[in-house]
Structure 1
Amino acid sequence: MNAPPDKPKQLPQCKHTFCTSCIDECFKKCGPKCPSCGQLYGTLTGSQPRNGRMTVQKTRYLRLPGFKKYGTIVIDYDIPSGTQGPEHPHPGKYYTGTHRTAYLPNNDEGNKVLRLLHKAFDARLIFTVGTSSTTGIDDSVTWNDIHHKTATYGGPQR
């Protein structure tokens, strides 16, 4: 005997329709966003280790290419080594932490990006635990698809 068809569920903002059990499972596994268009339904939370720190300094002595009339925002991320949680690939296993430095021009746009990066860090979206793309080592803290300027050279030459 066949199971009855699942009731369709229309997402309220984007109006895409899915079977209820499918979209519920998708939200559980991938976060509260439409799989068709990416419309957000709620708050995204990542798998960045909880024990990290983000510190910010502003300096007028360091200038980035293309932004010579502005100082620089220096962002330091410190994610210590620790034990993986249930949201990580190998729960209970040790992971290697990282320290990263990023740079933004200290202008209106740079400060807007900084506010967004603070939100992303608080939502645990900037880093994750996985395989390092530079070393190939498993169980390492790695960037999580929010690109950062990590060198004071290169970039726009305005």
Structure 2
Amino acid sequence: MTTSFSDEVDKIKKKFSVDFKDLGVHHGKVNVKAHYKRSGGNSSMESHAVRALLHLCQKIATSPKNITQHQGATGFSGSTKNSSTTSEGASSGPVVNNQSEYSTCKTEDSIGEGATAGDNEDEECPICKDTFKNRKQLKCKHEFCEECLEQSKKHMGPVCPVCKDVFGVIEGIQPDGTMSSYKSDLSLPGFEDCGTIVIDYYLPSGEQTERHPNPGQRYDGTSRTAYLPDNKEGKEVLHLLQKAFNQKLIFTVGTSTTTGIENQVTWNDIHHKTSRTGGPQSFGYPDPDYLRRVRDELKAKGIE
């Protein structure tokens, strides 16, 4: 993989400041671990790098070209142990609440039904490139080995590895807290014809659970304020953000990218406007594309 896609792998290394270590083949999987190159370590960057490498591996697996893997290996396993914390603006450890969002394909009539371009091998899993074992079909009609799909869900959440369609319900690791909102008569730059929706988040400090990066350790809470225009689209986005908050997707527990301090409640990858003014560089308005972008970020998590 690194020979054929060395440029892509180098980009991942440079972006996250990591090196990858090949731990060998185990149970038909190539085990890889990321190591942060700078002093002090950064498990969040390591985790993101592993996920990026997994995405690349799945891209290779679904490519029409024949890609030579490690001898005896049928897939890729990224080690995220001790590197599962998530920085601000990144997703972490989603889990699936609905386990019945895919079906077992038993008849030839169901094989290939609704198949899209690139699904040329009816009997080949697009992840492991081997004959299906306990074939599972998603609602988007793409099919995978049951074990391959479970491994993909551990790294990516309930997202189809081929078309990125979300199945099931994504739930994050956001700690307990509150979300409230009220209206202000003040307008936002770019939305002078309406008032402002002010969102207040409060997440107190607490103890990490088994789903968090460091179970048993304390995490520092946070309080944040965000702003939306008080118009039709702003109200719709507020409703979507409430759904995301209820699914524990707005915040996560990890390492702050601004301070480098671990065990913090930080933003997840659903961006907010935390300033009324200053434009995008100050996380404020005017920013005419913001409402569209945040909708896309929510949709990527199945919130629409």
CA contact (8 A) 2:174 2:250 kept: yes
Please give the TM-score of this superposition, normalised by the length of structure 2.
Answer: 0.48
Cα distance, 1:109 vs structure 2: 0.3
Tell me the SS of whatever aligns to 2:233: helix
Question: Cα distance, 1:36 vs. partner?
Answer: 2.4
RMSD of equivalent CA atoms: 2.2
Secondary structure of the residue that 1:11 maps to in structure 2? strand
Shift of the alpha carbon at 1:157? Answer: 7.0
Q: Which residue of 1 aligns with 2:253?
A: 129
Q: CA deviation at 1:29?
A: 4.8
Q: Partners of 1:86 and 1:6 in 2: how far apart?
A: 33
**Is the CA contact (8 Å cut-off) linking 2:138 and 2:160 kept in structure 1?**
no
Task: Tell me by how many angstroms 1:7 deviates.
Answer: 1.2
The aligned residue for residue 145 of structure 1 is: 269
Q: How far 1:92 moved relative to its partner?
A: 0.8
Taking the TM superposition and a 5 Å limit, the aligned residue runs for 1:8-157 are 9-49=135-175, 51-60=176-185, 62-153=186-277, 154=279, 155-156=285-286
**Residues 8 and 17 of structure 1, relative CA distance in 2, 3 Å threshold:** farther
Q: Which residue identity is paired with 1:135? A: T
Name the CA distance, whole Å, in 2 between partners of 1:97 and 1:37. Answer: 36
Aligned residues: 155
- The percentage of counterpart residues that share the same residue type is 54
Map Cα deviations across residues 55-96 of structure 1 (whole Å, 9 max, x no partner): 101111x21100011000000000100001111110111000
Change (3 A) 1:71 1:37: same
Cα distance in 2 for residues equivalent to 1:10 and 1:126: 30
Code of the aligned partner of 2:178: R
Tell me by how many angstroms 1:10 deviates.
Answer: 4.4
Structure 1 spans left out of the alignment, 5+ residues: none
Deviates more, 1:78-87 or 1:33-42: 33-42
Q: 1:117 to 1:23 in 2, by over 3 A?
A: same
Q: Cα deviation per residue 1:13-41 (whole Å; 9 max; x = unaligned)?
A: 22222222110232245422212222111
C-alpha distance in 1, partners of 2:241/2:151? 29
Q: Which 4+ stretches in 1 moved above 4 angstroms?
A: none
Larger Rg: 2
Evaluate the alpha carbon distance shift between residue 98 and residue 12 of structure 1 in structure 2; reply closer, same or farther with a 3 A threshold.
same
Q: Is the 8 A contact 1:84 1:95 kept in 2?
A: yes
Could you tell me how far apart the structure 2 residues matched to 1:75 and 1:157 are? 18
